[in-house]
Amino acid sequence: AMLSVDGGTSKFGALATVLNTELSGNWKMKTPAYVILLVRTFLTLEGIAARVDPTFNIYEIAMPWAVRRSLSPSTQKGIQTLRGALLTEDNRIQWGRFMELAEEALRVPAPTDGTEKLKDDGKGTQTDAARAAAMSDAINALMGSPGGAVLRRAIVDLDSVDLVQRLLSKESRSLRHKAVLAMTDSVKEQRLKRKAEKKLKKQALQTGTELAKTQNVEGEVRNMSETALRIKRKQKRTAQKVTLFLIMKHVRRQFANPITFVRASYLTLRLLLGLIRQSLMRKIQSKFRRRRTQSLGAVNGDAVQGNFTKP
């Protein structure tokens, strides 16, 4: 029913339309007054946001909060549900669900040379960056907070030895390839980002203006107060410490047995070699296209000049 309504997958108003026109005629529905008030509030806010950004999608905007809330259950039933969704009874990862999530996260193909997305300074790129930043903030806030205890415990209990063995299997070949492409694209973006930061700092020194007032080089695409920025930085530092602790715990677990150590080392080596190979291939392809473009430009220039010199 939602798919048959305009904006069914992006507009909250479509939900109200479906409830009123499609479902209420077939089923008796009783809606509390406070729910109606919330619906009207959401519809009003969505209308205001749509005037500013016609592509506004309330579900995507709410996704970081929904992810954080779903990963921090407060009831015993919710804790058991989350743990059961991530791990089996013997603490092995739910492989089928893990593959689905990983494939979905890596389904966007990497650019040919890693520069197409970064060259686009339009509104779409800024919106995508804002969504990614919001999701990153939600995860950082969760990892270092008391609400993330259930998720941290599940990560600690994860049988990483079995996970490494599965990642080396034939069925994970496509996943490994996509992971290498994503890593290559991420490295390229970070390198270009550092170049942009150096350029901005140099411009700020030359003009004598404050860098923070000209442009935020940390990549922050949303206006935030100084207090909010301090909280965000603190959450990021805490999340990094927690993540490092979890990684080191599983690394030590791999070192406990020579066979598991060899498997983990082999997986790491394959990913690193794939990263190096993809980086070299993209550089070669980029140089080849650049030279080809220059050659075509020179040929076209000679042809135009020849047309002008013809008697």
CB proximity list for 237: less than 8 A, separation 6 or greater: none
* 235-267 confidence digits (pLDDT tens): 889 999 999 999 999 999 998 889 999 999 999
Own/partner pairs for 238-242, CB < 8 Å, 24+ apart?
Answer: 238/140, 238/143, 238/144, 239/139, 239/140, 239/141, 239/143, 239/144, 241/144, 242/143, 242/144, 242/152
CB 259 within 8 A of CB 165: no
Decide: helix, strand or coil at residue 120: coil
Residue 152 in 3-state DSSP? helix
Q: Among 247, 276, 286, which residue's Cα sits nearest to residue 183?
A: 276
d(CA 59, CA 17): 16
pLDDT, one tens digit per residue, over 281-295 is 888 888 888 888 877
Distance (Å) of CA 95 to CA 82, 88, 92, 298: 15, 9, 8, 55
Which one has a higher pLDDT value, 3 or 232? 232
Span 122-178, pLDDT tens digits: 455 556 666 777 788 888 888 888 999 999 999 999 999 999 999 999 989 988 998
Residue 109 pLDDT grade (very low, low, confident, very high; cuts 50, 70, 90): very low
The string of pLDDT tens digits covering residues 69-89 is 999 998 999 999 999 999 999
The full DSSP string for 244-297 is: HHHHHHHHHHHHTSHHHHHHHHHHHHHHHHHHHHHHHHHHHHHHHHHHHHHHHH
Q: Is 105 exposed, middle or buried (0-12, 13-18, 19+ CB in 10 A)?
A: exposed
